[in-house]
Amino acid sequence: MISTSQFKAGVIIKYNNELCEIIDFQLVKMQQRQPIVSTKLKNIKTGNLLEQKFRSGDKFEDVFLEDKPVQYLYREGTKYHFMDSETYQDVVVNAELLGDRANFLKENSEAVGRYWGEELLSIELPSSVVLKVIETEPGVRGDTAKSGTKPSKVETGATIKVPLFVNSGDQIRVDTRTGQYLERA
């Protein structure tokens, strides 16, 4: 069991029979009243955010998640196939579970599967990946009257805004959380 005094960002609790991650929390002390812990929770399965207030000292079931290395193999329609790197089992994931992060999956790339018991809750990608630029407009020297970026298509099919000096065939590093260009690789 975990008490509200042990709350910190990233801790996962069971609230209303749902797994929730604590995104933010704040202890609010009021005169002549018991302190209240105001929290922002993220439902792990649905991704919904909710704000909830708890009395100081309330207890919740602590949840332990297991992280296992997985490797992306291929896509089949709206299903993504991963392989558990320890047991070599095929793990099939729906596109909804990955969301926009599916745009950064290259074949044979490594990721981490988050499990609660035998149930796969999420796939965590590395914070950045290196992708090859397949198609982009040529950058003209001195063409900075517009913004300093241009759209480019990468090998996974995603469109990413890159600086004008990036050309087709270049390798770039992309942040998987925001989808933004970081640097040339």
Question: Which pLDDT belongs to residue 141?
Answer: 64
Which residue, 58, 163, 68, 72, is CA-closest to 118? 68
Question: Which pLDDT belongs to residue 151?
Answer: 92
Residue recorded with tokens 């005094």: 5
CATH code that applies to domain 66-124: 2.40.50.140
Non-local (6+) Cβ contacts of 14 within 8 A are: 20, 60, 61, 63
Rounded distance between C-alpha atoms, residue 18 and residue 61, angstroms? 11
The fold of the 128-184 domain, in CATH, is OB fold (Dihydrolipoamide Acetyltransferase, E2P) (2.40.50)
Domain definitions of the chain by residue range: 2-62, 66-124, 128-184
Same CATH fold, 66-124 and 2-62?
Answer: no
Question: Which pLDDT belongs to residue 145?
Answer: 57
CATH class held by domain 2-62? mainly beta
Question: Which pLDDT belongs to residue 144?
Answer: 58
Low-confidence ranges of the chain (pLDDT < 70): 140-147
Beta bridge partners of residue 111, listed in sequence order? 70
Render pLDDT for 83-103 as a digit per residue (tens, 0 to 9). Answer: 999 999 999 998 888 888 889
